[in-house]
Structure 1
């Protein structure tokens, strides 16, 4: 197949758009990105680019008529629903209605939203008890990549898409209204599973508005618990979550967003932070891994178990963000695990992101954000230090995608494995930061100084496949989370004797502790300038991220040379 000029039109360069961009490049094509700003700008950019094909992996905005009416350059929407499904709340309804099968459909943009002819579709069995973000970043993302590959192949062969025909018995999807808060509402007297499903269906955005502790909050990050109490009553606090009684049992709620007053903006924060003034008399449970047996069925953000000579420590922080307190809890857990009589220490994420580094929302909410950022970066450095100084051979498992300090945290291990399909963003510059987490030691150690410079300066995503080629990771495991966890434990169990990792074992023995600490000191000197003194506008970039300010233009690094050349020609 000839190399195609493919334009990715997206509302954000999110995880799916990044996967699509990486996959198309790996297939020999030349994708370029246009982030949706306004109709006129988007039309001008795409019309001028001479793209062969436009694919929209994640688009909240309506495609302008000027684009979809061009018969020579199809605009294909990747819709997270089965054939015939239409509307912006596809995944919300699928989770709420507990459908057994779901899918992704690639359809051509026309005047009526999601009603265009079909290019491709891919279905999957719907997981049970799944969050919207987990569904989107897992089965939906996988099915979307299949559809994008299929669309590109069909376009190259002159395929004509099939009109959507609701008279066909195979077309069972229907137009669904946008889900409103009235469709999500629940009573605390409802059963806990129903409440959890309501929250899961709104995970990420927009959350479920509910009354709690005398106020109105949007709820996120729900986990079932067997304890009972008066419905709506807060029963306990553990780590960042509060335990709320329901009609039968109870739920841990990990994150809240206060309902905004007119003219006000609010954002998600750990539940304990939001309700801090109302929890004085609420029991605080001990979450130490030394006192809690490993149990995947209960709420345990940090959990530990042993298998033969391997100690396995799992940490699961909502959206991969790690606050100062979370880092300190993880550091304490690592110190305890390091004191165990094991030979291998396996650290891994849970569901969702592995880690994205410091917690920007908690930083933004602080009285002095720069000082909270400074405390946060030192706390996550301490976590990395625990890994770098472990007696055991340290293995890290990238169960989900990772960014910035989260990538470097994984690289602090001696051996790194990744689940197929994860995307890494090993850079800090776009947030106005020099970077820490011992990156000036761990990244060059893994990939060499030249590639390390390229990765941190170009600020582009890296696929698991690329990361293995460069030496950032040592191997790639199954895409299925359960299969990956089994595979990962097997790899960790054999890491002490497998000849493939002899160099990594030797490198651990020869590590230069003084050099490692010099790297930290130098990085923190730079980070103090960025976080406390705002050298590169970190404060403004953090605020824009937290309040989800829409981009003013597509970053130059995402525009392919062929699109840049035509843009320059127009200017001339």
Structure 2
């Protein structure tokens, strides 16, 4: 499929829908590339921080700083909720981590349809948490797929793909930032091809489909019966949210960095303690905990953590959070 060339001498009117920092990076790239953005859709302001103060999204903050009109409908089901988007008459709607499903009436509204920036190599990791799940699963690489949106969950045809390796030190936070930058580059390339009428769509293959379910706090509890390598990947996948957690002496302790090592013992048992780390037995091998945090404190290297919270060989981490 080849998209029809844009009107107005090849200049696209690009409406944008997105909410968090990942989306703001894409919006910034689109603006820097010189595209006209008549309207930004983003989620309504939400309570945030200790004071639970209503806080605008990263996308809203950027749009207002650039003098772009912002609309924040709770849903897009009614004509009234879609009125601002319809009135701006965009050629295309770019969507990135918006947080709302687009009904058919929205998908059909822009002349050239709606295109999405998805942080995985589709069809692997469709869904809400592709970055977390790719790290957790031990994938060797991931990337960004620019996708023509349809009514399914990340099922639309692929328009452009950009790849990046997943490094051994990558946390979700680090990989997120790299993919956000990659997504900004990719969407600018895709819009250029769309304006030129050279953007071609490739259907997603039926094989290799996986779903990246939303991350829940409960699954961040460390299961010490699992292999050390799998736990270490989960530690990186759950950084910065929700943080891999275990319990020692009724204290919830989050682990932010770890290293698989040789070792054997009952899962959860502390095998060794020194200023460099705490070695804990796993179902297969052992895990050396390098950075930890108690509730109400901050992340600390193991040596500093141990000066405020002594840990002894033979103690045992639990796999359930305190009530």
TMscore range, shorter length: 0.5 to 0.7
Deviation for aligned residue 1:53:
1.8
Deviation for aligned residue 1:82:
0.8
Match of 1:60 in 2: 99
SS at match of 1:147: helix
> What's the C-alpha RMSD, in Å, of the aligned pairs?
3.7
Find out whether 1:175 has 2:176 as its counterpart.
no
Quick check: 1:122–1:146 contact (8 Å CA) kept in 2? no
Match 1:22 to one of 21, 28, 41:
28
Match of 1:4 in 2: 12
Quick check: 1:17–1:57 contact (8 Å CA) kept in 2? yes
Quick check: 1:6–1:54 contact (8 Å CA) kept in 2? yes
In 2, Cα distance between equivalents of 1:118 and 1:6: 19
Is the alpha carbon distance of 1:220 and 1:251 closer, same or farther for their aligned partners in structure 2, counting shifts above 3 Å?
closer
Deviation for aligned residue 1:269:
5.2
Quick check: 1:244–1:253 contact (8 Å CA) kept in 2? no
* Greater helix fraction, Structure 1 or Structure 2: 1
Q: Please, what TM-score do these two structures have when normalized by structure 1? A: 0.39
* Greater strand fraction, Structure 1 or Structure 2: 2
Match of 2:310 in 1: 282
Deviation for aligned residue 1:91:
1.9
Quick check: 1:77–1:107 contact (8 Å CA) kept in 2? yes
What are the superposed Cα offsets for residues 418-461 of structure 1, whole Å, 9 maximum, x if unpaired? xxxxxxxxxxxxxxxxxxxxxxxxxxxxxxxxxxxxxxxxxxxx
Find out whether 1:147 has 2:153 as its counterpart.
no
SS at match of 1:39: coil
Q: Please, what TM-score do these two structures have when normalized by structure 2? A: 0.65
Quick check: 1:10–1:56 contact (8 Å CA) kept in 2? yes
Mind listing any 5+ residue stretches in structure 1 that lack a counterpart?
259-267, 273-277, 284-572
In 1, Cα distance between equivalents of 2:235 and 2:120: 20
Quick check: 1:34–1:45 contact (8 Å CA) kept in 2? no
Match 2:288 to one of 221, 226, 250:
250
In 1, Cα distance between equivalents of 2:297 and 2:99: 24
Which protein shows a greater Rg?
Answer: 1
Quick check: 1:228–1:250 contact (8 Å CA) kept in 2? no
Quick check: 1:191–1:246 contact (8 Å CA) kept in 2? no
Deviation for aligned residue 1:66:
2.7
- The aligned runs of 1:367-446 (5 Å cut-off) are none
In 2, Cα distance between equivalents of 1:225 and 1:25: 44
Deviation for aligned residue 1:10:
0.8
Quick check: 2:273–2:279 contact (8 Å CA) kept in 1? no
Structure 1 runs of 4+ off > 6 angstroms? 225-230, 234-238
Mind listing any 5+ residue stretches in structure 2 that lack a counterpart?
1-8, 45-73, 301-305, 312-323
Match of 1:388 in 2: none
- Which structure's relative contact order is higher, taking Cα pairs within 8 Å and 6+ residues apart? 2
Deviation for aligned residue 1:144:
1.2
Is the alpha carbon distance of 1:42 and 1:23 closer, same or farther for their aligned partners in structure 2, counting shifts above 3 Å?
farther
